[in-house]
Amino acid sequence: MLKHNVPGRFPMPNTTARANREKRRAALGSLLAALLLTTFKVVVGVLTNSLGVLSEAAHSALDLVAAGLTLWAVRAAGQPADREHTYGHGKFENLSALAETLLLLCTCGWIVYEACRRLFLAENVRIEASVWAFLVIALSIVVDFSRSRILGRTAEKYGSQALEADALHFSTDIWSSCVVLVGLLGILAARKLHIPQLELADSVAALGVAVIVILVTIKLGQRSIDDLLDRVPGDLQSRVAAAARVEGVKEVTQVRVRRTGPDFFADVTLSVDHGTLIEGAHAIASGAEDAVRAVLPRADVVIHVEPDRSTPEGATDTVRTLAARFGMGAHGIRIYESEGRRSVELHLEVNESLTLEDAHRKASAFEDALRAVIPDLGRVVTHLEPSGDRAATRQAQPAEEAMVRACLNEFLRSEPVAIGPHDIRVQASGGELAVSLHCSLDSRMAITAAHDMTERLEAYLRKGVPNLGRVVIHVEPAGETAE
């Protein structure tokens, strides 16, 4: 597996520091603005006894706490990754947004309670719709509009959820202030027109504030929870997969995306042709990384490149590689396909010091791992062979070669290909014959054709030579000398 990642594609240290400073300035400005508005609204609300203004003061007080949380979260999230936080500290912004959600819900509960008490329990509360009440609401609208624009631009520029939550708070304040303003106008109209029912406009306005805040809070809370649980938008994974399918990629086998604060992390596994060289795989990974970053501009992208296992050739390489990981050798691999399913037969070389039980347990673990990595793999049959010096050593004696040579000559007369057998050895070992020989073939012959020829020769020898055991046929280009 080849992993490809270019750390230099992430923001440079000076760029990150500049972004953190700008985000902190925006958060600090929000904190000061919330402090100013909260103080002014509390004073005017107490003097006028307006529930609408007091609800706005409570809302601003929560904004003050939220702005403080935002400033803390932005500072914490700006710290670089460390051993305990390998993906950085961006989740602090998500935690801050979730905390703001809970605070807003508490505020809404108090506003709804007070409004219902005044509306349905006929609480007699004298409200002064003075010029100060109108002044504080007008000032609140101006300040909220200014802060929401500054915070919104900064949040969009740096993908900060904490600043976005703060901007949402100030935007909500604009609409809720407008509702309170309508309530105060209703009170004035009630006293001028002598319509007592309009006195309830302030409490109705407070309920309007609560409804607006609840709706925005639910949306904000859902997004915060989604990010904390690493949930991504429904189509994001498919868009990343589509982007990563650049030239040379046979299949995008896995896509994982997570968001940490303003940053995304993407892990993508690509399948390429099993014969692709390392330089080609690196080029494919670079192209896929650029394509993914076009979808997620601030993403830290890691590309995993694996050989394609959907073809027999790729599966054969996988079998050998996996066997090596288990400390075994694999040869004689045969892959059979039938009705969309594949089965594998092979020889496994295990250490000669193992017991049958240990060797079988090791082979079973290998078979389970093989089924996990090769798609649609059914039956796996492994033939266990001991490996090591003792297993490879045989007590051999020279044996009569006449029968073997006669059978070989018969095969040569029936074979249209020039073989050129030489260095023939026939030995008796363990009650059977062992034959080895070299064959010189046309250097332009394909290795598959050469292998087919050796299999035909071996089958012919086994048919014509009784008690024939091990057969080793070495093929070489014509003109080469056997070692």
Per residue in 19-34, pLDDT (tens digit) is: 667 767 776 777 777 7
**Residues 197 and 87 occupy one common structural domain:** yes
Average pLDDT for the chain: 75
Q: What CATH number should be reported for the domain holding residue 472?
A: 3.30.70.1350
Amino acid 162: pLDDT = 67
Q: Kindly write down the DSSP assignment for every residue of 173-235, as one continuous string.
A: HHHHHHHHHHHHHHHHHHHHHT-GGGGGHHHHHHHHHHHHHHHHHHHHHHHHHHHHTT---TT
Tokens of 371: 């089924």
Residue at 59 is within a domain = yes
What mean pLDDT do residues 268-290 have? 81
Which among 37-41, 67-71, 247-251, 397-401 has the top mean pLDDT? 247-251
What mean pLDDT do residues 51-73 have? 69
What mean pLDDT do residues 151-173 have? 70
**Residues 246 and 136 occupy one common structural domain:** no
Q: Which helix (H) or strand (E) holds 46?
A: helix 13-48
Per residue in 429-482, pLDDT (tens digit) is: 767 888 888 888 888 888 778 888 888 899 999 998 888 888 888 888 887 544
Flag whether pLDDT at 483 surpasses 50: no
**Residues 138 and 33 occupy one common structural domain:** yes
Asked which of 5-9, 271-275, 282-286, 303-307 is least confident by mean pLDDT, the reply is 5-9
pTM: 0.45
**Residues 92 and 126 occupy one common structural domain:** yes
Tell me the percentage of the chain whose pLDDT exceeds 70: 70
Cβ count within 10 A of residue 214: 17
Q: Please check whether residue 345 is in contact with residue 315, taking contact to mean a CB–CB distance below 8 angstroms.
A: no
Which among 111-115, 153-157, 370-374 has the top mean pLDDT? 370-374
Q: Which of 337, 260, 256 is nearest to 301 (CA)?
A: 256
Residue at 472 is within a domain = yes
Residue at 7 is within a domain = no
Per residue in 200-232, pLDDT (tens digit) is: 666 777 777 778 778 777 877 777 777 777 677
Total tally of structural domains belonging to the chain: 4
Q: Which residues contact 461 (CB under 8 A, 6 or more apart)?
A: 404, 407, 408, 411, 435, 468, 471
Amino acid 146: pLDDT = 77
| 3-class secondary-structure state, position 355 | coil
What mean pLDDT do residues 120-143 have? 66
**Residues 327 and 425 occupy one common structural domain:** no
Flag whether pLDDT at 311 surpasses 70: no
Residue at 2 is within a domain = no
Residue at 4 is within a domain = no
Domain that holds residue 365: 312-392
Cβ count within 10 A of residue 247: 8
- Higher-confidence residue of 194 and 395: namely 194
Residue type, 443: S
